[in-house]
A and B are shown apart, each in its own frame.
Chain A
Amino acid sequence: MSTHQHHTKDFLFTYVFSTDHKMIAKQFLITGFLMGFVGLIMSTLFRLQLGWPGQSFEMIELFMGSWQEDGVMAPDKYLSLVTMHGTIMVFFLLTAGLSGTFSNLLIPLQIGARDMASGVLNMLSYWFFFISSVIMLCSLFVEGGAASAGWTIYPPLSALPQAIPGSGAGMTLWLISMSIFIMSSLIGSLNYIVTILNMRTKGMSMTRLPLTIWAFFLTAILGVLSFPVLLAAALLLVFDRSFGTSFYLSDIYIGGQVLDHTGGSPILFEHLFWFLGHPEVYIVLLPALGITSEVISSMTRKPIFGYRAMIGSMMAIAFLSFIVWGHHMFLTGMNPFLGSVFTFTTLLIAIPSAVKVFNYLTTLWKGNIKFTPATLFSIGLVSTFITGGVTGLILGNNALDINVHDTYFVIGHFHIVMGLSAIFGMFAGVYHWFPKLFGRMINNKLGSMHFWITIVSSYGVFFPMHFLGLAGVPRRYYTWSEFPMFENMIDINELISVFAIAAMIGQLIFFFNFVYSAFRGPKAPMNPWKANTLEWTSPVEHFHGNWYGEIPEVYRWPYDYSKVDKNGDFIYGEDFIPQTTPLGENEKDGGAH
């Protein structure tokens, strides 16, 4: 006998201050995408400057105001744009937007829990993210402009407003925003870890978890261990900037005078920053890899190949990511032996990455593939992960890094692995779990159009950059017209900018499709992809607690696709067996072999 309770909540608690993980997931998604859109516009703007240096773009002055006087971008504003673009894309879109959305949406649903370990902390995590986004956007409008020392904000450039105007109020707001962002990320990660360890349903052992959960779990651990160190770095920078300490500053002569700071070293900042900075890129990438495993498996109707190897390689990547940060600092004058250690550990990371790629390929082999937009983006992720990953072997090798460090070669590399692979993972996730997020189906035709425009134009933007880097072209240069040796590169720049504009337009198709389908798309069935994982057993409509009645019990791993019996027929008649189906008499669970 159960008592029925009528649950009515007002608008404020259902939509704004919700503690329901599904609503919070949507909040993270929307905010992340809005910030991502801002970052996208920024990159289009500075690509206009790079493709057509010094050209006047009158129309843009309309909304850029003093940043684009007489239609031409100012050099320090160019640096503000590249700084804010990097900050927004890495942190706001690909960390909060990606992890925040999918960890929140999928963890309780895929492990069989009513909600996250703490709904209140979860809600706070989102609101801190929102507030930090607002502050970061406000920093665009202060005197002196937004932070302009690169997203890596090395002091002294980021500490001294005399060195560049953006290092005044703009940098202060950046630091405040990021401190709040770090709190958001830490609170979120706490929830993810505890929920996964503590709240799994009956039968859901760690080796029956979908790879998405493993990815989110390891990502959260990375976050818990590395973001606090960025907070420490930022705090010391705040003190140097505003309270007259000398943690990072020493022996500086600027603006006609010697500054009071003595004894500090900018290299200290670099160590603290990159101690987060490197794990950060895996915080960005691992969720995308987890999503890809899930999408490829369910859409090829095959178990993911090497489930345990996939977990092992993710763990190896997570562990190694803590001991490679020095490869961002090969040329700081560090002890050469230390440089060698970092080369060694960096090139080691290539091994688990390669294992993952081969496992994805083997999963596709002899599969039966359905090319939804999610599948397309997952395949795109594998391609870009390979392409971007192999150039890491050059950058990670200290002797070779000497000539490509801080050139366009680096920009090509990290954009292909983050700006392509990670965002492709995010898109794949949005397309695949759109029915779960909004109860409706997103349009396939527009989705595949989005994929094709994006992959073609993005490769067009970033592949040529390897050549630019090998020609010695440095990054963060406002224009190359001061160097005769780069004269024959300007047409390459133009080509890149054309591709960049095309890529931007492609994203508009996605935004339209997303908004239209969220409100007017066809209603989704409970399990549109005929997938095995638990989230597809919970009803389409959203309510607290995820399942009516008891939470389902789990009997098998999530990858029983196309499992056949001795006669070659599908066991149970279908090419998929949900985790909630008990094992047959002589059936062994695939996960425990």
Chain B
Amino acid sequence: MMTIIVVIAVILVVITASQLLKLAELRAKSKGELIYELTQKENKMQGLLLLLFFFAFMGFFVWQIVAWGDRILPVSASEHGEDTDFLMSLTLYIITPVFIITNALLFWFSYKYAYDPKRKALFFSHSNKLEMVWTIAPALVLTVLILMGLNNWNKITTPIAQEEEHILIELTAMQFNWTARYAGEDKKLGRSHVTLIEGVNGTGVDTLDPSSKDDKIVKGEFHLPVGVPVQFVFRSLDVIHSAFFPHFRSQMNCVPGVVTQFNFVPSRTTEEMRDITNNEDFNYILLCNKICGAAHYNMQMDIIVESQEDYDIWLAEQKGL
């Protein structure tokens, strides 16, 4: 019933609008005008609207920063994240004025140079000098951003040296949860393969491999000691997933058939972060960030960063296979 009413209403609106348009055209014709010719008044109005839009747009931009600026991620919880955040801020400080000034010129010119039959436009077709200026200026800025970015990237993507003190964790992704496996005292992870998956051994650890004897399997929530580098290796059992640790400024795809790696040094404990964010319930989190199936939106694992002592106590309680 409702549908029929809506359909009829729509048809009536369309018919009315059509008639109104035809009327407008005939009215203009009777005045000796063409309806499709823009009048001076209409044209100037559009110019003004464009200028007003610019201010509204900038207002909207500022309002968003004020309203939501504090909702973006808090300060970095990893060491390399401090450098990444610095580069991000720098880039934002460069692009924001560019964004504002070019939009300002665009809408100002539109307003100022609205059509005036008494004026002639300026026949200014090219200037090699100007082209050079605005080719070289962006190139210089970009060179700085590129060099800083690459420097950052190299530091981040270098695996931790074997001899350096670190924790080694394998994160296995599957539809729709994560399993963490800590390398034990021997600092080595035992071999694993999908063909060895059976029962409790959900990630296919090779129990015959001596290195896997002291590995610890952790689900639901995993812990890290503050200040100690952690080397992750990532696997997936079924489809591509992505291990996203937003607070630690870290992310790496988990690809079936391939082992990927990433590392970082946690620099703030969960307690510290709870203070900083003023939120008793805050927790670091690992989420899946590559479309992986129906429950992609709920594939997570909590991360607790704590002091070395607390971490050791927690680790002792974890079991192997």
The residues of A with any CB-CB pair to B shorter than 8 Å are: 59, 62, 74-76, 79, 149-150, 154-157, 160, 163-164, 249-254, 258, 262-267, 300-309, 331-333, 336, 339-340, 343-344, 347-348, 350-351, 354-355, 357-358, 360-362, 364-372, 376, 379, 382-383, 386-387, 390-391, 393-394, 397-400, 402-403, 405-407, 441-446, 448, 452, 455-456, 459-460, 463-464, 467, 470-472, 474, 476-480, 482-485, 488-489, 492, 512, 516, 520, 522, 524, 528, 559, 561-564, 568, 570, 575, 590, 593
Contacts and interface: CB of A to CB of B under 8 A. Distances in A.
Interface in B47-69: 47, 49-50, 53, 56-57, 60-61, 64, 68-69
B46 A448 contact: yes
B5 interface: no
Given A301-B121, A364-B113, A387 B257 contact: no
Contact of A472 (B73, B94, B291): B73
A394 B88 contact: yes
Contacts of A156: 238-240, 256
B18 interface: yes
B84 A333 contact: no
Residue among B34, B145, B260 with max Cβ neighbours from chain A (10 Å):
B145
Given A366-B122, A492-B68, A265 B258 contact: yes
A498 to B, nearest CB: 14
B124 A305 contact: yes
B321 interface: no
B262 to A, nearest CB: 9
A484 B281 contact: yes
Given A399-B87, A472-B246, A379 B110 contact: yes
Residue among B49, B138, B281 with max Cβ neighbours from chain A (10 Å):
B138
29 contacts: A79-B291, A266-B257, A303-B123, A305-B125, A331-B252, A333-B253, A336-B153, A351-B138, A364-B110, A364-B113, A369-B43, A386-B98, A390-B99, A399-B152, A402-B156, A456-B56, A459-B60, A467-B72, A471-B72, A472-B244, A482-B298, A484-B281, A485-B285, A488-B71, A522-B25, A561-B123, A570-B120, A575-B120, A593-B125
A302 B142 contact: no
Contact of B84 (A253, A403, A445, A488): A403
B197 A258 contact: yes
A592 B207 CA distance: 77
A482 B135 CA distance: 47
Nearest to B28: A522
A252 B72 contact: no
Interface in B109-139: 109-110, 113-116, 119-127, 130-131, 134-135, 138-139
A579 to B, nearest CB: 15
Given A444-B42, A474-B244, A336 B154 contact: yes
Interface in B199-247: 204, 234, 237-240, 242, 244, 246-247
B7 to A, nearest CB: 12
A489 B71 contact: yes
A397 B258 contact: no
Contact of A309 (B131, B146, B259): B131
Contacts of B49: 452
A74 B294 CA distance: 9
Given A258-B195, A383-B103, A402-B250, A355 B134 contact: yes
Contacts of B83: 399
B102 A357 contact: yes
B34 A350 contact: no
A370 B282 CA distance: 55
A265 B255 contact: yes
Contacts of B157: 336, 339
Contacts of B174: 253
A358 B298 CA distance: 45
B197 A340 contact: no
Contacts of B109: 361, 364-365, 367
Contact of A371 (B14, B114, B156, B240): B114
Range class of the B interface residue count: 35 or more
Residue among B43, B61, B300 with max Cβ neighbours from chain A (10 Å):
B43
Closest 6 CB pairs of A and B: A250-B257, A472-B246, A333-B260, A371-B46, A399-B152, A336-B157
B35 interface: yes
Interface of B: 2-3, 14, 17-18, 21-22, 24-25, 34-36, 38, 42-43, 46-47, 49-50, 53, 56-57, 60-61, 64, 68-69, 71-73, 83-84, 87-88, 91-92, 94-95, 98-99, 102-103, 105-107, 109-110, 113-116, 119-127, 130-131, 134-135, 138-139, 142, 145-146, 149-150, 152-154, 156-158, 174-175, 193-195, 197, 204, 234, 237-240, 242, 244, 246-247, 249-253, 255-261, 281-283, 285, 287-298, 300
A267 B259 CA distance: 12
Nearest to A262: B257
Contact of A369 (B73, B110, B249): B110
Contacts of B146: 343-344, 347, 397
B123 A308 contact: no
Given A264-B257, A393-B91, A163 B125 contact: no
B294 A368 contact: no
A114 B294 CA distance: 53
A482 B297 contact: yes
B134 A358 contact: yes
B291 A150 contact: yes
B115 A370 contact: yes
A382 B109 CA distance: 13
A477 B297 contact: yes
Given A75-B295, A522-B34, A393 B120 contact: no
Contacts of A355: 131, 134-135
Given A386-B102, A403-B249, A403-B251, A463 B60 contact: yes
A476 B91 contact: no
B120 A568 contact: yes
A122 B73 CA distance: 52
